[in-house]
């Protein structure tokens, strides 16, 4: 190989390394942060209401959502992180109750009164939801308490 081709090959290798470090790694970090934010938002959320309808929001990445009506308001709950079987289990008219700082969802209808643990099984991620919450609680202990005590 002549000197010109060696220099070109070195430039291509350096450019490839630069692209890998600055694009691929940032994309991977974004996906991890997206999942952690998704888990934390659900964990901190509380809601109670009756399912008015389930829908796929074509204006928002075809995310699966549920419209709930409570005594005082209507709200849309994002459920794209759960499996199809979970969403098929939920029916119009079901009552849903989700308390803050937990992953459990109570589902009530005439013949059913059950509690389901949200598992985020529609996403592939490095950490399970409990690991994400453990890291969060270590950083932000409840009531100012230290987790090391």
Q: Does some domain include residue 124? A: yes
Closest CA to 42 of 138, 122, 118: 118
Q: Does some domain include residue 44? A: yes
Which tops the pLDDT comparison, 13 or 66?
66
Task: Give the highest mean pLDDT range of 11-20, 23-32, 83-92.
Answer: 83-92
Whether the per-residue pLDDT at 29 is higher than 60: the answer is no
Q: Does some domain include residue 149? A: no
Q: Which SS3 state, helix, strand or coil, does residue 9 take?
A: helix
Distance CA(21)–CA(118), nearest Å, equals 34
CA dihedral 41, 42, 45, 47 (to 10 degrees): 150
Band the pLDDT of 48: cuts 50, 70, 90.
very high
Beta-carbon count within 10 A of 135 CB: 13
Which tops the pLDDT comparison, 148 or 2?
2
Q: Which SS3 state, helix, strand or coil, does residue 119 take?
A: coil
- Find the helix or strand (DSSP H, E) in which 41 lies: helix 25-44
Band the pLDDT of 20: cuts 50, 70, 90.
low
Whether the per-residue pLDDT at 144 is higher than 70: the answer is no
Distance CA(36)–CA(133), nearest Å, equals 9
Band the pLDDT of 40: cuts 50, 70, 90.
confident
Domains contained in the chain, number = 1
* Model pLDDT for residues 73-124, shown as the tens digit of each residue: 999 988 877 878 888 899 999 999 999 988 889 999 999 999 988 877 766 5
Question: The domain containing residue 39 runs over which residues?
Answer: 3-144
Distance CA(96)–CA(25), nearest Å, equals 38
Q: Does some domain include residue 28? A: yes
- 30 phi and psi angles, rounded to 5 deg: -60, -45
Which tops the pLDDT comparison, 147 or 21?
21
């Amino acid at each position: 190989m002549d000197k010109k081709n060696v220099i070109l090959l070195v430039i291509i290798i350096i450019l490839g390394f630069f692209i890998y470090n600055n694009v691929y790694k940032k994309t991977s970090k974004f996906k991890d942060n997206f999942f952690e934010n998704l888990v934390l938002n659900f964990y901190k959320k509380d809601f109670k209401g009756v399912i008015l309808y389930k829908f796929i929001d074509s204006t928002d990445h075809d995310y699966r959502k549920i419209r709930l009506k409570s005594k005082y308001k209507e709200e849309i709950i994002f459920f794209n992180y759960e499996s199809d079987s979970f969403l098929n289990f939920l029916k119009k008219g079901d009552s849903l109750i989700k308390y803050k700082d937990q992953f459990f969802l109570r589902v009530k209808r005439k013949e059913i009164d059950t509690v389901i643990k949200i598992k985020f099984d529609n996403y592939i991620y490095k950490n399970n939801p409990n690991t994400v919450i453990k890291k969060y609680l270590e950083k932000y202990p409840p009531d100012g308490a230290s987790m090391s005590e």
